[in-house]
Structure 1
């Protein structure tokens, strides 16, 4: 068992999760498909898939590129597509929830802090009125293969997970617990694995995608980390990824898949809330 001071890098966490991980298979059935994403903010970006790579082209021609991708499907008609976008010397985590049943999507765009930002310190950030985490994330919505109109994307912020205590088994050796405290924060602890004994409370975001299917995103403040999972309470499965710096030198990224068998341990309801 580790002590509470044994924080590890995201790269070391990836190594711990890897052996016998319960990862969903990377889908080949997106090979040859094209989706045009019409964003609510006016962007229009075509995404073309082959067996290993995703290429994108913005309608205004200002953004084009190609990247390896991972695509999974936790429910029929729904794809989680994840890749890293490198542009102008910077890197972004891009995760797309492509919902073909409603012809809509949600894009989660994440960015890691610089080394200087991580050195700022929690106390200084608190006094300055800044979020304690320096990991940045944006949520964008839109429609698939049709012009955007208000209300076309049913994915919406939700409080349905608040009060839940969930257990996630990512592999035979890695087990975590989440407690969803309120609409902005959750608590986690590692019950078994490379972070055993560690716990924290971090900033998070919840979106309802379909009945008993949720997009959950968290941003850690100790080790700069962006986590993202789809949680299916019907099938007791989750699937997503963890993104951060691979080591302590801030010059390499780690973006590794995580999938789990999950179960609700209990639900707490506060009568005065």
Structure 2
């Protein structure tokens, strides 16, 4: 008789990822920076980062995590809002003057409980996790190559070792979907195919965003295919009661298992 692997809440996953993590240490390189970020449609955001990684985003303060996977490129991640949180992740290329903003939102309990068949019938995404991805510039800095969608990762099958006890593989199927599979760890045996987005930041450096449909989850990571390293975050609800959020760091060592070209 076979058993069915059980999906766990994101809070429990975060606890498993907390020990012996391969995530990057925080970087102080943005401390004391005040940045004006300009996006299409005359959209402007003001962002100030203090030395203790407190960020002021259009006047709203939050505690942020700042890392740098490659010289001059920073990932700035934080949550704003009250009972309902907005996830904000910024990739800032301070040398090239380019910026990408990922704003993410989790569904509430009612939205997450809508059956997949009903969503399919309505022609909507099966996941209730929503994102807005904007590409823009850092005011006052010299212009580099704009960030934008890419097909560079399609066909790759990568293994990600997040810690000695948490290992996953990703298969990048097409521009809209990828498959994840837990090889070792708290979700061992689980796998699914979910919505995703691929952004090229620089040669060999990519922003990968995914939105899971069964347990509402938002993932935002930078993948450096030259360094074979990733760093980013996972956002979700602490439990299945939708009462509290967790937003925890993740980072992995990368192995390329194979590549398929159709």
* Same fold at TM > 0.5: yes
Q: Write out aligned runs for 1:237-252 (5 A).
A: 237-252=229-244
Whether 1:264 and 2:235 are equivalent positions in the alignment is no
- C-alpha contact (below 8 Å) 2:181/2:192 kept by paired residues: yes
Q: Quote the offset at 1:210 in angstroms.
A: 0.6
Q: Quote the offset at 1:52 in angstroms.
A: 3.1
Q: CA RMSD in A?
A: 1.7
In 1, the alpha carbon distance for the partners of 2:114 and 2:151 equals 32
Q: Write out aligned runs for 1:23-102 (5 A).
A: 23-50=23-50, 51-57=52-58, 64-86=59-81, 89-102=83-96
Unaligned runs of 5+ in 2: none
Unaligned runs of 5+ in 1: 58-63
Deviant stretches of 4+, over 4 Å: none
Q: How many residues align?
A: 260
| Partner SS for 1:90 | coil
State the Cα deviation string for residues 142-186 of structure 1 (Å, max 9, x = none).
1102499xx976111111111000000000000000000111100
For residue 16 of structure 1, what is the aligned residue in structure 2? 16
In 1, the alpha carbon distance for the partners of 2:22 and 2:212 equals 23
State the Cα deviation string for residues 44-96 of structure 1 (Å, max 9, x = none).
22211111310123xxxxxx200000000000010000000115x53111000
Whether 1:136 and 2:137 are equivalent positions in the alignment is no
| TM-score w.r.t. length of structure 1 | 0.91
Whether 1:121 and 2:122 are equivalent positions in the alignment is no
In 1, the alpha carbon distance for the partners of 2:21 and 2:130 equals 28
In 1, the alpha carbon distance for the partners of 2:141 and 2:102 equals 20
| Partner SS for 2:174 | coil
